[in-house]
Amino acid sequence: MLDMTPKELVHRKALRVNPAKTCQPVGAMYAALGVHRCMPHSHGSQGCCSYHRTFLARHFKEPAIATTSSFSEGACVFGGGSNLKKAVKNIFDIYDPDIIAVHTTCLSETIGDDLKTLIQQMEIPEGKIVVHTNTPSYVGSHINGFANMMTGFIKYLSDKNTPATGKVGIFPGFVNPGDMHELKRIAKMIGVKYTMFPDTDGTMNSALTGHYEMYPKGGTTVDEIRELGGAQHVLALGEITSVTPAMELKRKCDVDFSSLPLPIGVEATDKYVMALSHLSKREVPTELEEERGQLLDIMIDSHAYYGDKRVAIAGDPDTVLGFAAFCLELGMKPKYMITGTPDEKFTKKAKELLLKYGVTDCIAKANTDLFELHQLIKNEPVDLLIGGTHCKYIARAEDVPFVRAGFPILDRYVHPYMPLVGYRGAMRLAELISNALLDRQDRDAEDKDFELVM
C-alpha cells in the first residue's frame, strides 16, 4: 500500500501528491443544495458538473442535482454567455426551480465571463431568480467555494430594509446535514428563533418514500435569505469557512456577527450554547445541561484509553480544528494537523489551541497534502488517524487505527445523518475514537491478554 512513498521527506515546490482539498465549485454546489428549490449551475465544461455531482452523491448517498453550461471550444472563444442564457431558459422550462445559483469554474474564470452582466441582460421568468458567485478553481479550495456561494446569495438577496426579525442567523460551515440538524435542535431547545443558512438537512438526507422530489422540503428559503438582512445577529460557525459570508452580510445589511469555532467538543459547543442563550436571553434548558453532563460522564468513563495518544488529523480547516480540540479535551495529543486549504489562519488557530494545552511538538500545516502527512507519519508514527476516506490508504500502509470524520467519506454509510457537532455529536466522536482504539487493542492482544471487560 502506497509503496512508492519514501520515508525521506522531500521539499516540493510544484508537484501536489494526494491532495487534502479539492476545488471551489464543489463547495459552491453543496452550499446551493442547502437552499430550498434551488438548482446549482456550473458555468464551465460538462466534466466539472459531472465530477461534483458524483462526488457529492458518493459522500451523501443522495441525488446531487446540478446543471451545466456544457462549454464547447466555440464557447471558449466567443464566451459562455449564449450557453448560460440557453441553460437558464431550459432549466426553468424543464426543472422549474425557484432560483438558479450559478458558480463559475476555472474555464469561465480564465476566459473572463462577466456573470453579473450576463445575468442582468438575461430574460428571467417572473418570480424566478438567478444569482451567481465566482469560484475560480485555482484559488483556495472547496471550503472557499462554499463560503463564496453563501456570499453570492447574500449579495443578491439579503435585504437591509427588512424589518428586524429577531432571528439569529446560523451559518453552519461545511458540515453534514446531520450536523445542521443537531445545530438546529440545540437552538430549538434553547428557544431561539433562527435561520440556518445554508441548510442541507432535508435536502441532502431526504426520506425514501417511492416518490422522488427534485426539491425536497428542506433548505433555506429565498425569503429567509432575504430576511437575513433583518437578523438580530449572526453566529458564523467555523472561523475559516463562515467569516466571509458573515462579513458580507455585515457590510451589506449591517448585521453583527460572532465568529465561533465549529461546535465540536465540549468547549466549542459551550460557546455555541452560551451565544444562543445570550442572544435569546433565555436560560440553557436542563435537558441540554444533562446532555453535556452525559458527555463528560463518557469522557471520564473512557479516559484511560485516550491518555497521551498521538493523533494525526487531516481534512478541512474548521473540522480539523474542531476534532483536534476534542482530542485535546479527551487527553490525546495532536501530532499532525493538516489541511490542503491554503489559509494561514488555520495554522494560527491551531497554534493557539495547542498552546492552550501545552502541546509543543505538533506540526500544524495548511496548503499541504496527504503525501506529506504520510511521510511525516513514517518518520514519527501516531496512534490514531482522523480524516476523510482518502486517509485510509495511509492507515493501512502504516497500520494506524483510523476514524473517518469530515469530508469526503466515500466508503461508509449513515455518516451524513449522524452529527459530530454539539454534545451529542461529541458523544458519537468519542464512541468512534474509543472504538477504534479498543478494536486495535483487541486485535493486537494475545489470547491470554484478550479481555472481556474493557
Partner 1 sequence: MDAREVILDKYSGRVFKNRKDHIVELDEAGVPKEIAANSRSVPGMMINRGCCYAGCKGVVLGPLRDTVVITHGPIGCGYYTWGTRRNKADSPDGRNFVQYCFSTDMQETDIVFGGMKKLRQAIREAVEIFHPKAVMICSTCPIGLIGDDINAVATESEKLYGITCVAYSCEGYKGVSQSAGHHIANNGLMRRVIGSAKDKIPERGLRINILGEYNIGGDGWEEERILKKIGYEIVAVFTGDGSYEALTHAHTADLNLVQCHRSINYIAEMMKTKYNIDWLKVNFVGIDETIRTLREIADYFGNEEIKQRTEEVIAEELADIAEDRKFYRQKLEGKTAGVFVGGSRSHHYQNVLKDFGMKTVIAGYEFAHRDDYEGREVIPNIKLDADSKNIEQLTVHPDEQFYHVALDKERFDELRKENVELEYYKGMFKDMGDGTIVVDDFNHYETEKVLDIFKPDIFYSGIKDKYMIEKKGFPSNQLHSYDYSGPYAGFKGAIVFARNTYLSIYAPAWKMLTPPWRTQPTLEGTMGDENYA
Which residues, 234 to 273, sit near partner 1 by CB under 8 A? none
CB of 133 to partner 1, least distance (A): 16
CB of 365 to partner 1, least distance (A): 15
Look up residue 127 and give its DSSP letter: T
DSSP-derived 3-state class of residue 377 = helix
**28, 33, 38, 87: which one contacts partner 1 (CB under 8 A)?**
87
Q: Which of residues 97-156 bind partner 1 (CB under 8 A)?
A: 105-107, 110-111, 136-139, 141
Instruction: Write the interaction track for partner 1 spanning residues 370-409; mark x where CB under 8 A is met and - where it is not.
Output: -x------------------x--x----------------
Closest CA to 255 of 235, 277, 240, 275: 235
Buried b (16+ CB within 10 A) or exposed e, 222-242: bebbbbbbbbbbbbbbbbbbb
By beta-carbon proximity to partner 1, the closer residue of 1 and 445 is: 1
Closest CA to 421 of 262, 273, 260: 262
Determine the interface stretch with partner 1 among 22-30, 292-300, 322-330, 421-429 (rule: CB under 8 A).
22-30
Q: What angle do CA 8, 12, 14 make, to 5 degrees?
A: 155
Question: In sequence order, what DSSP letters do the residues of 130-182 get, joined into one string?
Answer: EEEE---TTSS-HHHHHHHHHHHHHHHH--TTSPP--PEEEE--S--HHHHHH
**In sequence order, which residues have a C-beta less than 8 Å from that of residue 327 and are 6 or more positions away?**
306, 311, 313, 333, 334, 386, 433
Distance CA 100, CA 69 (A): 12
By beta-carbon proximity to partner 1, the closer residue of 2 and 129 is: 2
Distance CA 18, CA 415 (A): 23
**67, 144, 221, 269: which one contacts partner 1 (CB under 8 A)?**
67
Cell of residue 41, nine digits: 449551475
Determine the interface stretch with partner 1 among 61-69, 167-175, 305-313, 321-329 (rule: CB under 8 A).
61-69
Question: In sequence order, what DSSP letters do the residues of 170-214 get, joined into one string?
Answer: EE--S--HHHHHHHHHHHHHHT--EEESS--TTTSSPPP-S---S
**7, 78, 86, 223: which one contacts partner 1 (CB under 8 A)?**
86
CB of 405 to partner 1, least distance (A): 19
By beta-carbon proximity to partner 1, the closer residue of 264 and 376 is: 376
By beta-carbon proximity to partner 1, the closer residue of 108 and 158 is: 108
**31, 33, 38, 84: which one contacts partner 1 (CB under 8 A)?**
84
**33, 34, 68, 183: which one contacts partner 1 (CB under 8 A)?**
68
CB of 68 to partner 1, least distance (A): 7
**Helices 177-190/422-444 angle, 10° precision:** 130
CB of 366 to partner 1, least distance (A): 13
**57, 243, 296, 363: which one contacts partner 1 (CB under 8 A)?**
57
**58, 128, 155, 345: which one contacts partner 1 (CB under 8 A)?**
58
How many residues of this chain interact with partner 1, rule: CB under 8 A?
82
Distance CA 289, CA 373 (A): 38
**37, 51, 244, 418: which one contacts partner 1 (CB under 8 A)?**
51
**88, 149, 170, 240: which one contacts partner 1 (CB under 8 A)?**
88
Closest CA to 408 of 145, 194, 142: 142
Distance CA 343, CA 339 (A): 9
**25, 218, 219, 229: which one contacts partner 1 (CB under 8 A)?**
25
By beta-carbon proximity to partner 1, the closer residue of 29 and 150 is: 29
Instruction: Write the interaction track for partner 1 spanning residues 154-193; mark x where CB under 8 A is met and - where it is not.
Output: ----------------------------------------
**32, 36, 83, 180: which one contacts partner 1 (CB under 8 A)?**
83
74 contributes a contact to partner 1 by CB under 8 A: yes
Q: Which of residues 278-337 bind partner 1 (CB under 8 A)?
A: none
Cis peptide before 63 (omega within 30 of 0): no
